[in-house]
Amino acid sequence: MKPTLQTVADAVGVSRSTVSNAYGRPDQLSPELRERILTAARELGYAGPNPTARSLRRGRAGAIGVLFTDVLSYAFRDPFAVRFLQGLSLAAERHQTGLLLIPVPDDPEAARAAVRNAAVDGFCVFCVAEGHPARQAIFERGLPVVGTELLAGDPEMLAAGIDEAAATRAAGMHLTALGHRRVAIVADMLHPAISPLGTVVREPSDVSYLGESERLRGYQQAWRKAGLDWDEVTIVNVRGNSREAGVEGAAQVLDRRDRPTALVAFSDVIALGTMDALRARGLRAGRDVSVIGFDDIPQAAEAGLTTVRQPATEKGRIAGELLLDPPATAEGRRVALPTELIVRASTGPAPDGRN
Amino acid sequence: MKPTLQTVADAVGVSRSTVSNAYGRPDQLSPELRERILTAARELGYAGPNPTARSLRRGRAGAIGVLFTDVLSYAFRDPFAVRFLQGLSLAAERHQTGLLLIPVPDDPEAARAAVRNAAVDGFCVFCVAEGHPARQAIFERGLPVVGTELLAGDPEMLAAGIDEAAATRAAGMHLTALGHRRVAIVADMLHPAISPLGTVVREPSDVSYLGESERLRGYQQAWRKAGLDWDEVTIVNVRGNSREAGVEGAAQVLDRRDRPTALVAFSDVIALGTMDALRARGLRAGRDVSVIGFDDIPQAAEAGLTTVRQPATEKGRIAGELLLDPPATAEGRRVALPTELIVRASTGPAPDGRN
DNA sequence: GTTGCCTTCTAAATCGATACAGTAGGCGCG
DNA sequence: CGCGCCTACTGTATCGATTTAGAAGGCAAC
């Protein structure tokens, strides 16, 4: 049998409460007795209060739930996601809390069950499509939920986010100001969760991730304002947020006769991939084709990639803080973080004439 | 007040046990009653049995602990680590279990407390240095522990690992068979946990990660056997497992007059970085300088990198299975996975004469 | 000497579920 | 009819801790 508080209490000849206090409230007993208790505990192989029992009594699970979907595990290849997670963990650490990655089965019912069975104090909705079966289960738990989308529908939802549309609007205007009129978008996350590959999504409202939807809208707004025809904008829908996906996505537009003079991506990782594709064709980023990314990961600076900077770690940290220490006032429940268009060498004036 | 089993039981007019059975053992009550109960629960806003209470009663936390150190968060940039984690999550999913990432504070006492407070059924020791304060705390919990090092000292420890030394021995012999005699090692993880940067570690026994220690030993064995002087082997100790670290590490040896004809790295990520460094200097991998990596991540194939293949996802999956369903026999408790030297274009005959 | 306060410890209630033994009622069968 | 057996449910102990109210003893002050 594993020793419990009672085992130790009996061994020392004190009450269970006193042993509990020895661990959790050292000021409640004399230092000598505490020392005796801790020594006895060590001898008995008692490793300290059972975290599960403590959680039950305290009413605090000591963990934040994060759904570990395929999407998320791929997302880990993106430094942005990793930094977000680091931020989350910073907040968690401050609150002596863990991050529970919940593997989500493909079967919808099993997915819901996984969410219901998670011993957590709240959920961080990160990389979970709008229509995902687990998503509803999350809200049904009645626990605090934090997302990264300021415009999320649920009024209960906490959020640490950016004005996605404003961010890409600025990026889009930067391009039109440089004279670009033939533009393409390369993006992951555009497809509805359960649609066949290759589905073409053009309208922001059809995008199943709110953030991506807004990014699309931002470009739409900027370019419409500049007089471009949205239907003329090429949208390449790649699967997966990776450099390779960027290479492949760019390949679909760069070899066309009327190749765009500018490419925008919804992540730096993809943008860097499109730059690889340019290089492979002897095209110069910022001269022959301008490229804009999103996130401003460290590699973006090295590659001279123009991009939208958002504070990754801070986003995670604030999301965590919101979850673990929810503000009383409704205003405080949605935190808007700043973004900034970082102009580097990958954007330049549109080349003259036909190619 | 949040509704509990009792709330629902009272509302329906049945006993608590019956409501519990409605969720956990549908065969124990009539379908009609079950439906009535679930409906009532929904109306009362009862989200299902409290996972913490269930955990306590069942004696199963429903989570595997993984220490989330800085090292691990950097490791996420390596596809190998991500795939390992995916494997772990596969096993976890099968056992309806989560992965609890435990943020580890810098303060040693706080780090130990974090481990003691984690509600988990076992730990996976991944990317935790031998001397790390949290490491001992893990074993003190008396829970199952799985590692990735077959030779780990603790006899209690479960392991899913490879014969690291044999793997690098094969790689080392491949190089000497090709005539290489001026070789260098570029590796992260060599430094003792709490040593100043730049400390030079040459002996396997001084390496604080067992796996890396064995990899070093493998090269040492291969090259000594081939008559090379170990002291002549350049060892570059980089900080961090990243492509950039590889670039920087390679820079330290490639610009020397007696530049090595072969570079070996302890991860593909670093090896790919060294190949970047070669390219930047107009050197051809496999012709001017041979390069060997470790892991065989997908990018290695694309880059034509010779490397040691190890089954990443499988390693994680088996680690998880060992933890969640420990074999009765001692033999089954350490699973050896196969490795294979994958020879690609990045290795070739040593160039003749001086450079 | 009594009152009151402080320190140090104890007893009992409680957190929210699950498991197991037990009971009541219905049904088949010789 | 009486026995056994099955189905459907209940009651109670239990998981391992924390918390709160309270008791015992010591000491100072009036």
Higher-pLDDT residue of A284 and B242 is A284
Identify the CA nearest to B299 among candidates B243, B238, B237. B243
Contact B116 A47 (CB under 8 A): yes
Measured in degrees and rounded to the nearest 5, phi and psi for residue B275 equal -65, -35
Query: Using N-to-C axis directions, what is the helix angle for A268-280 and A243-254, rounded to 10°?
Result: 50
Across the beta sheet with A145-147, the strand order is A334-337, A158-162, A145-147, A122-124, A63-68, A98-103, B98-103, B63-68, B122-124, B145-147, B158-162, B334-337
Q: Which residues pair with A67 in a beta bridge?
A: A102
Task: Taking each helix axis as running N to C, give the angle between helix B210-225 and helix B164-177, from 0 to 180 degrees, rounded to the nearest 10.
Answer: 30
**Joined tokens for residue A40:** 């006895």
CB contact under 8 A, A99 and B98: no
The yes-or-no verdict on residue A196 having pLDDT over 60 is no
Q: How many angstroms separate the CA of B48 from the C1' of C23? A: 28
- Examine the pLDDT at A195 and tell me if it is beyond 60: no
CB contact under 8 A, B101 and A96: no
Min Cα–Cα distance to chain A from B105, Å: 7
Structure tokens at A291: 């490229």
What does the pLDDT read at residue B154?
82
Which tokens belong to A320? 């965590």
Sign of the alpha-carbon torsion through A84, A207, A143, B35: negative
At A207, the pLDDT band (50, 70, 90 cuts) reads confident
- Mean pLDDT in chain A? 92
What pLDDT does residue A328 have? Answer: 87
User: Mean pLDDT throughout A312-325?
Assistant: 97
Q: Which of A56, A76, A96 sits opposite B76 (nearest CB)?
A: A76
Work out the burial of residue B355: count CB atoms within 10 Å of its CB; fewer than 13 is exposed, 13-18 middle, 19 or more buried.
Answer: exposed
Closest B-chain CA to A96: B114
> Which domains does chain B show, CATH number per domain?
5-49 (1.10.260.40), 63-162 (3.40.50.2300), 164-310+338-342 (3.40.50.2300)
Q: Quote the pLDDT of residue B76.
A: 82
Nucleotide nearest to A7 (CA to C1'): D16
Find and give the residue nearest to D15, measured CA to C1'.
Answer: B57
Which residues on chain B are in Cβ contact (under 8 Å) with A99? 68, 100-103
Give the pLDDT mean for A17-26: 94
Contact status, residue A44 vs residue A11, Cβ threshold 8 Å: yes
Chain A CB contacts of B50 under 8 Å are: 56
The answer to whether strand D lies under 7 Å from the CB of residue B21 is yes
Q: Is the minimum distance from the CB of B18 to strand C below 7 Å?
A: no
The secondary structure element, H or E, covering residue B147 is strand B145-147
Instruction: Return all residues near A50 (Cβ < 8 A) that are at least 6 apart.
Output: A4, B56
Strand D contact nucleotides, protein CB < 7 Å? 7-12, 14-21
Which residues pair with residue A306 across a beta bridge? A292
What is the structure's pLDDT at B94?
A: 96
- For strand C, is any atom closer than 7 Å to the CB of B194? no
Non-local CB neighbours of A303 within 8 Å, separated by 6+ positions: A272, A275, A346
Chain-chain contact of A116 with B48 (C-beta, under 8 angstroms): yes
A44 CB closer than 7 A to any strand D atom: no
Task: Determine contact, residues A338/A162, Cβ cutoff 8 Å.
Answer: yes
Closest in B62, B89, B101 to A119, CB measured: B62
Tally the residues of chain A: 355
Closest CA relative to residue A183, chosen from A284, A281, A269, A256: A256
Cβ within 8 Å, pair B114-A102 = no
Provide the pLDDT for residue A353.
Answer: 59
pLDDT in tens, chain B (355 residues): 789 999 999 999 999 999 999 999 999 999 999 999 999 999 999 999 999 999 999 999 999 999 998 888 878 888 899 999 999 999 999 999 999 999 999 999 999 999 999 999 999 999 888 888 999 999 999 999 999 999 887 888 999 999 999 999 999 999 999 999 999 999 987 765 444 455 568 889 888 888 999 999 999 999 999 999 999 999 999 988 889 999 999 999 999 999 999 999 999 999 999 999 999 999 999 999 999 999 999 999 999 999 999 999 999 999 999 999 999 888 899 999 999 999 999 999 999 754 4
Interatomic separation, CA of residue B258 and C1' of nucleotide D23, rounded (Å): 83
Contacts of A24 in chain B (CB under 8 A): none
